[in-house]
């Protein structure tokens, strides 16, 4: 069974890049009938907050990405200690004492010599006396994972294809700080092993982490999961703007967007598949295919998101929209107004056009006289006439005034709705009703002389 995971840190709100990662892992698992797990990476006790944990759960639920299970790293510390002890016994982790300033100086020296800034493993040369001296000074070590320079690092990436890394060209990564707290790399491997993760799908900025973690899996006696690294996301202008980088579910909800519009866009950008509005997760999962992912950055276009949202709204049944519609708006009104909406929340504006009040338009003297005649016609109108009230009204006015086309229809729409565009008047006029229609037409006509 395929088991994937999404592993956010509860140190802030989820942004659009996080959402895309969560969505892809959920779709990968769902397509295969597998499991999608949530892992809360809350080992950073100072920055992790419980309200962010709740926000992550709420965001995933709104998007329709409810996980099949949840784990928290803060409850798994014993697993990390056990793995650390095993690696220490095997000589695969070692203590080091350099300060951040000392490491930065080493880095600058190497760069000045035009050499790669790789850690020199000086800590491996320390003697027992050196360790004792540091202990007497109260200087606690941080711990590094010792890469095996003889072990080839290679995997067949689900997006990038065959990958090869030379361990000797990489620094031994720090896995534990001097205060005993954990960095990301080792706990993540331990969790993937213990949680039975079979597939890790994440951004291409993690490729070098994967190279290191593959050796960690091996050192812990485990088979690494399958890895896939997708191209990162950029804005329509070709770069990941600060604003886009902080855009999250809260922003989408505040804009009145449908979760499936967000999912439909994020599922397909960066792939060779067309970006289309999908109405449910099953359809997105069926079409999810890592082989369609390209290496070019995935472009997030807000205009495209609005287009998808409008498509979903235009096909939305009344029953789905009803809880969010204004009081009194029934199915007939929804079906009339729906084609003019980008968001369900826009229905309130159009419902106000129906229920009023509507500001009287500024009309020419000639058009005002025409609207005055229309008021008389509306009051005498058979609102149940064959073909509808709008046809009956415009036919009567056409015969009485000789007007047709825009000269006939536009002044009526302006007087009846206060707008020069909108829903089909055949459907809208019955919603306005005879009394409101007559009052609005009177308001748009000149006083009697």
pLDDT at 88: 97
Closest Cα to residue 6, out of 56, 46, 74? 56
Regions of the chain with pLDDT less than 70:
237-246, 445-449
Instruction: Write down all domains in the chain, each with its CATH number in brackets.
Output: 3-70+183-234 (3.40.50.620), 80-176 (3.90.800.10), 253-314 (1.10.1160.10), 318-354 (no CATH), 356-443 (1.10.10.350)
Instruction: Give 264's contacts (C-beta < 8 A, 6+ positions apart).
Output: 275, 276, 277, 278, 284, 308, 312
pLDDT at 239: 61
């Amino acid at each position: 069974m395929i088991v994937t995971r999404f592993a956010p840190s509860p140190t802030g709100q989820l942004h659009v890049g996080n959402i895309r990662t969560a969505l892809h892992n959920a779709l990968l698992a769902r397509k295969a009938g597998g499991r999608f797990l949530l892992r809360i990476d809350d080992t950073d006790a100072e920055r992790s907050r419980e309200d962010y944990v709740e926000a992550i759960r709420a965001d995933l639920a709104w998007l329709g990405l409810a996980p099949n299970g949840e784990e928290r790293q803060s409850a798994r510390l014993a697993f990390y200690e056990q793995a650390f002890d095993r690696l220490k016994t095997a000589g695969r982790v070692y203590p080091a004492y350099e300060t951040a300033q000392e490491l930065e100086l080493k880095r600058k020296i190497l760069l000045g010599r035009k050499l790669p800034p790789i850690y020199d493993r000086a800590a491996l040369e320390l003697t027992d006396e050196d360790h004792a001296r540091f202990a007497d000074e109260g200087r606690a070590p941080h711990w590094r994972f010792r890469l095996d320079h003889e072990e080839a690092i290679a995997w067949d990436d689900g997006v990038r294809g065959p990958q090869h890394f030379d361990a000797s060209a990489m620094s031994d990564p720090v896995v534990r700080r001097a205060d005993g707290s954990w960095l990301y790399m080792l706990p993540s491997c331990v969790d993937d092993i213990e949680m039975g993760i079979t597939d890790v799908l994440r951004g291409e900025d993690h490729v070098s982490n994967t190279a290191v973690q593959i050796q960690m899996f091996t050192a812990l006696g485990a088979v690494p999961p399958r890895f896939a690294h997708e191209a990162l996301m950029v804005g329509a202008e070709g770069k990941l703007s600060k604003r886009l980088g902080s855009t999250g579910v809260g922003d989408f909800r505040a804009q009145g967007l449908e979760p499936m519009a967000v999912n439909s866009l994020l599922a397909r950008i960066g792939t060779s598949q067309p970006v289309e509005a999908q109405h449910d997760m099953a359809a997105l999962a069926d079409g999810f295919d890592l082989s369609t992912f390209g290496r070019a950055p995935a472009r997030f276009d807000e205009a495209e998101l609005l287009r998808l949202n409008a498509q979903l709204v235009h096909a939305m049944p009344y029953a789905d929209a009803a809880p969010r519609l204004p009081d009194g708006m029934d199915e007939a009104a929804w079906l009339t107004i729906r084609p003019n909406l980008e968001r369900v929340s826009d229905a309130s504006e159009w419902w106000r056009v129906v229920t009023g009040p509507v500001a009287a338009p500024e009309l020419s003297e000639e058009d005002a006289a025409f609207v005055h005649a229309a008021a008389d016609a509306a009051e005498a109108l058979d609102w149940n006439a064959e073909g509808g009230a709008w046809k009956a009204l415009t036919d009567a006015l056409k015969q009485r005034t000789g007007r047709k086309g825009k000269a006939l229809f536009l002044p009526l729409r302006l007087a009846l709705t206060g707008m020069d565009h909108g829903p089909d008047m055949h459907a809208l006029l019955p919603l306005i009703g005879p009394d409101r229609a007559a009052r609005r037409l009177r308001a748009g006509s000149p006083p009697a002389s």
